[in-house]
Structure 1
Amino acid sequence: MKKNLLLAAVSLVALSAAAPAVAADLAARPYTKAPPAMVAAIYDWSGFYIGINGGGGSSHATWDLVNFGREGSHDATGGTVGGQIGYRWQSAQWVFGVEGQGNWADFSGSNTSALTGFNNRTKIDSFGLITGQVGYAWNNVLVYVKGGAAVVGAKYDVRTVGGAFVASNEDTRWGGTVGVGLEYGFAPNWSIGAEYNHIFLGGHDQNLTNGNVLVQTDHIKQGVDMGLVRLNYKFGGPILAKY
C-alpha cells in the first residue's frame, strides 16, 4: 500500500514538471498589427481669408442731355487690381460668407455727342464691393454666387474734338452688385479662382461745370461688367476625417 502511494506521488510530480515543457514546445501565436485606419484630408473653407485680385472690365455709359435728348453711348474699358478680405463658414458641403473688396481701376472711354459735337468721356477709377456669398463645395473646389452693395468712383468730362476742356464732374455712386465665382484650394491655406461681377448703377443726373459755372446737365446711365482672377490665403488648414 505504501509502495503504491509512493509511486503515485512520484508520477504526479513528474507530470507537473513536464507540463511547462509541453507548453513551451507549442508554437506561439504570431502578433498581427491592425492595419492603419484610412485618413483623408477634407478641405475646410471655414475661416478668415485675405487676397489679391486683378482683371479687366467694361462700363457701358449712356448720356442724355437733360431737356434736349440722347447724346450717345460708349464703353469705358480697362484694367483693375485690388484686394479682398472676408470670412466663410462651412456646414456639410454648403459654404456661406461675407466679403469686402476694394479695387483701383482704369475703365475709360468716349463718344462724340450727337447733339453738341463734343467728346463725352467717362472714367471709373475705383470701386468697392460689400457682399454676401452662398456656395457649394466638392472638397477643395468651391462654386459660389454673391450679391450686395457697390460703390464706384467715376469722372465725367466734356471736351472739344481738339481736346480742349469744356466741363467735368466727379461723383461717388452707389449701386448693387451680383456675381458668380469658382475657387480651387491647391494647398491647405491657398486658393485660386475666377470671378465675374456686374455692378448696377442705374441713371443719375450729373451737373457738368467749368469752374463754378454750370455748362450742362446730363442724365448718365451706367452698368459695369468685369472678370477677375483671385488669389486668397486662408487662416487655418484642412480638417482630417477618418473613414
Structure 2
Amino acid sequence: MTAAAPSATMRLIEASTMISQGAEAKIYRARLHPPAASSPSDPSAPDGCVLLKHRFAKQYRHPTLDGALTRARVAGEARALVRCLRAGVRVPGVRMVDAAAGVLGIEWVDGASVRALLGGGAEGEVEVEERDDGEEEEGEEEAHEDGAEVALREYGLTPDQVMEMIGAELAKMHRADVVHGDLTTSNMMLRRPSAAQPAAELVLIDFGLAYISTLPEDKAVDLYVLERAFASTHPQSEPLFAGVLNAYAKGMGKDWTPVSRRLDDVRLRGRKRSMVG
C-alpha cells in the first residue's frame, strides 16, 4: 500500500527550521511565501517569516483522545489571539490554522523576550550567584539593573517604561475577558524598532493555556502568577512590579477594585501554601 502523501502543512513543517522544542510543541521559523526581491536570502530574516507552533502527537495518549485535545487547543489558542487582536491587545497576528495537523502559524515578532532583556537569561538559567551566606555580593544588584538598562537602550525604553507597557497590555487583555494562564516575562516580547515601526512595542505571546473568563478571581490569579515570576526570575527587579500594577489599575478603571480584592486573597492563599509546604 502506498503511503499517503504529506499534507501541505506538513510539507511546510519539513521545509522549516526548528528553533525550539517543549513538552507540548515544536516551534519553527518558516516562510509562507518567498522573500521580497529586496530582502536578504538568509531565512532568518524577518521579512516574510512566520512562527509555526506544531503540537505533535503524544504517544502516551490514545490517538483519538490526542487528536481531539490537539484540535481543541490549537483552535482555542487561535480564538484567544483573535479576540485579543479585536480588543487592541498587542499579540502576534494569526497567519494560518490547521487544527487537524496541530499547527498554528502566527506573525514573526522581531525582538527579544522581556525575560532576557531584564537579565533573566534563558529558561532554566540562574543569573545571580549567591555567597555562602545567601546574600548577593555588594554592587551585584546595581550592576544587574544597569545591564537591563543597557539592553533596553536599543529599544529606546527604560525598565519603568516596560513595566507600564506590560500593565497596559494586561489590562486590555483582561478587559476583553481573556485570561492568559501562563504570564511570565518569557511570554512577553519587545518588538525591535524599525523603519516601518519606529517605536518599540510590547507583544504578549504563547496563549496555549488561555481561556475566556469574566471572573475577577481568574484575572487576579493571572496577575499573581506574573508577580511570582518576577520574584523568582527577576529578584532585583521585583520592586518594578508595582509599576505593572499601577498601569494595570489605570487601564482597568472601575474594574480594578474587584480584581485588587481578589489579588489580596490569592496572595494570602499563596503565603499559607508556602508556610504549610
TM-score range, shorter chain: under 0.3
Rg comparison, structure with higher value: 1
TM-score normalised per structure 2: 0.17
More strand by share: 1
TM-score normalised per structure 1: 0.19
- Answer 1 or 2: higher relative contact order, Cα 8 Å, separation at least 6: 1
More helix by share: 2
